[in-house]
Amino acid sequence: MSVTGVEVAVMPPQEPLEDMSNLAAALPGGEESAALAREKGWVAPQRYNYDAYNTLDKDEVVNALPWASNSAKYEWKEEYGDIGPPNEELEKMLFQDEYIPRVGKLLENLRQIEVTAETTERPDPIKSFDEAGLHPITLNNIKLCGYVFPTPVQAYCIPAVMTGHDLIAVAQTGSGKTAAFLIPVLSRLMGKAKKLAAPRPDLSNGFNESLDSVRAEPLVLIVVPTRELATQIFDEARRLCYRSMLRPCVIYGGGPTRDQRTELMKGCDILIATPGRLIDFMDRPNILTLCRVRYTIIDEADELLQADWEAEFTKILAGGDVNEDADHRYMMFSATFNRGCRQVARKFLANDYVRIRIGRVGSSHLNVTQQVVWAEDSMKKKCLYDLLMAMPPSRTIVFVNTKPQADLLDDFLFNMGLPSTSIHSDRTQREREDAIRAFKTAKSPILIATAVSARGLDIKNVMHVVNYDLPSISHGGIDEYIHRIGRTARIGNQGLATSFYNERNSDMGPDLVKILMECNQAIPDFLQSEAPPDGVLKFDDDTDDEAGDGDNTGGAGDAWGAAAAPAAAVDFTANAGDNATATDAQGAWPVDANGDW
């Protein structure tokens, strides 16, 4: 066990909890509670040092701690050949940092999930990264990342992208979606970067903004809903671009615009962005143009492709200006993807786009142990305190529904001697990045969060997620629940999700029970009445509504409702665990002399 929570593993309790509402013991206070927390192994809480920032001027505040957008990346030099030389210091930082998430021992559970793929061509899933026709540097970086074999979403998405298809992929949280699009996209561009990329300055002798600046003309645009998700994809891009000419950048709201502008002016091939900051830079064509973009990728697409965002996304997906290359591919990824989002998505996808579903859309997986306990509102704080004190110290995310509640609960736990911090949209970006840094390093291993973090956090050793407040049906519902509990048990690791439930959550009861039953989890006595009387699970899932997407073109097997019915749509199921494949009449997808599909 580690008192910082870095090495400790939380094992789900042998007997599921059901009721925490009849707690009699009073909460300890003051020095007694702090002493108990230290006795249990929790580190001492640390106050946020506002005074330090108040004594700095604006420029000093910006540079007091590194911004995520300024993180070191591999910088290409003109004298390099096709592959740059290793940089030992950077390599250690990118691949050997102790806080980088690692693949867990239960990855095989993800490989057993049923896969459905539909398209005019049948994608043969890859059994290994070596057989995918990837660029040598991509393969080397994959090994440095510690990826041994592809997860189901990677096994199907990599060949689909390598063959030049548009793509919609829906897979459980923590199943490897980021690598599923970065690996094939970067691989296809690596051998062509010198031909396709815009001019850039030689940074070997430093950077003079007035003399060396160029306009950013990225080849890849990745749009995401949250700042934390943007910086995490940026980190993965930094790893997978290592020793290549491809230069990743990230832009997001709240961070210093000047620093982000400077990074763009040094050259940008892979741009990760949140929508607001992206549109701001798109309105400054001397700094950024999307005219060279070959791949547009929307991550957490269901969050972004909403009707009220359609105007902004039409501008983003259309490139804002004339794209010089008609060979433009679109990809959309999420764990949930409803019909309304698909209707927006289809406006940009080619008719032969590939549709991949890993398991049921909107489902969770068996690596998350879920328990639901009864807790009256008046007793929730006591319940949370007792729950945290009953577990070995470990990184824990506690979800609440409002920003004031996050602050109040953070104060409560802090005053009880527990090392907590909080994150929500009213916090400054500096505070948000500081909170994530403290959580990652386990200086504050308890993070109180609102829905802003339900989709954006992929942090090593998050062993426990607590739904202090369950989402309501009118604010995210069961989809929000799925995304929240997906912050634990990522890429083959084990995790625990505990949800407090009472009469105010009755609207979530039926959906919650169906998720528990689907994942073979225990159903508490107070939810037994919500179980289907015949024991048959029927989800309100519109993904198989063949003609329900607003047109009459959805044919048999067209589970997503393509803009035009494929000539010979294929709907097949394969078990990615044993890598079963099916070959269409045209045989295996060809590989040319350069290793491209």
Q: Tens of pLDDT along 284-317?
A: 999 999 999 999 999 987 777 765 666 777 778 7
**Strands, E assignment, 378-445:** 395-399, 420-423
pLDDT of res. 95: 94
Q: Label residue 113 by pLDDT band (50, 70, 90).
A: low
The closest alpha carbon to 354, from 11, 85, 118, 111, belongs to 118
The closest alpha carbon to 464, from 491, 482, 446, 479, belongs to 446
Strand-strand pairing, 295-299 and 329-334: parallel
Kindly report the length of the chain.
597
Highest mean pLDDT among 22-36, 236-250, 425-439, 507-521: 236-250
Q: Label residue 502 by pLDDT band (50, 70, 90).
A: very high
Whether residue 83 has pLDDT greater than 70? yes
Give me the phi and psi of 38, to 5 degrees please. Answer: -65, -35
Check: CB of residue 344 under 8 Å from CB of residue 314. Answer: no
Check: CB of residue 42 under 8 Å from CB of residue 393. Answer: yes
Q: Which residues of 410-432 are buried (b: 16+ CB within 10 A; e: fewer)?
A: bebbbebbbbbbbbbeebebbbb
CA distance 417 to 440: 19
CA distance 456 to 485: 12
Check: CB of residue 45 under 8 Å from CB of residue 414. Answer: yes
More confident residue, 164 or 547: 164
CA distance 207 to 263: 10
Residue with structure tokens 């991949």?
A: 356
Percent of the chain with pLDDT over 70: 73
pLDDT of res. 569: 29
pLDDT digits (tens, 9 = 90+) for 134-148: 999 999 999 999 998
Strand-strand pairing, 248-251 and 220-223: unpaired
**CATH code 3.40.50.300 for 30-48+363-530:** yes
Check: CB of residue 529 under 8 Å from CB of residue 494. Answer: no
Residue 511 contacts by C-beta under 8 Å, 6 or more apart in sequence?
473, 477, 478, 481
CA angle 269, 271, 276 (to 5 degrees): 150
CA distance 216 to 266: 8
pLDDT digits (tens, 9 = 90+) for 446-482: 999 998 777 767 787 888 999 999 998 888 888 889 8
Whether residue 584 has pLDDT greater than 70? no
The SS3 of residue 343 is helix
Whether residue 93 has pLDDT greater than 90? yes
pLDDT digits (tens, 9 = 90+) for 550-578: 433 333 233 333 322 222 222 323 333 33
Whether residue 379 has pLDDT greater than 80? yes
CA atoms within 13 A on the CB side of 98: 8
pLDDT of res. 322: 46
Strand-strand pairing, 368-374 and 295-299: unpaired
CA distance 297 to 313: 12
Amino acid (one-letter) located at 87: N
Predicted model pTM: 0.78
**Strands, E assignment, 244-361:** 248-251, 270-273, 295-299, 329-334, 354-358
In sequence order, the β-bridge partners of residue 397 are: 447, 465
In Å, how far from its chain's centre is CA 119? Answer: 25
Whether residue 363 has pLDDT greater than 80? no
**Ramachandran quadrant class, 362 (left: phi over 0; alpha: psi -120 to 50; beta: rest):** left
pLDDT of res. 86: 95
Percent of the chain with pLDDT over 90: 40
The closest alpha carbon to 130, from 94, 155, 153, 100, belongs to 155
| Domain spanning 114-358: CATH superfamily | P-loop containing nucleotide triphosphate hydrolases (3.40.50.300)
pLDDT of res. 54: 52
Mean model confidence pLDDT for the chain: 79
The SS3 of residue 391 is coil
CA distance 478 to 192: 43
Residues of CATH 3.40.50.300 domain(s) within the chain?
A: 30-48+363-530, 114-358
Amino acid (one-letter) located at 194: K
Highest mean pLDDT among 104-118, 212-226, 568-582: 212-226
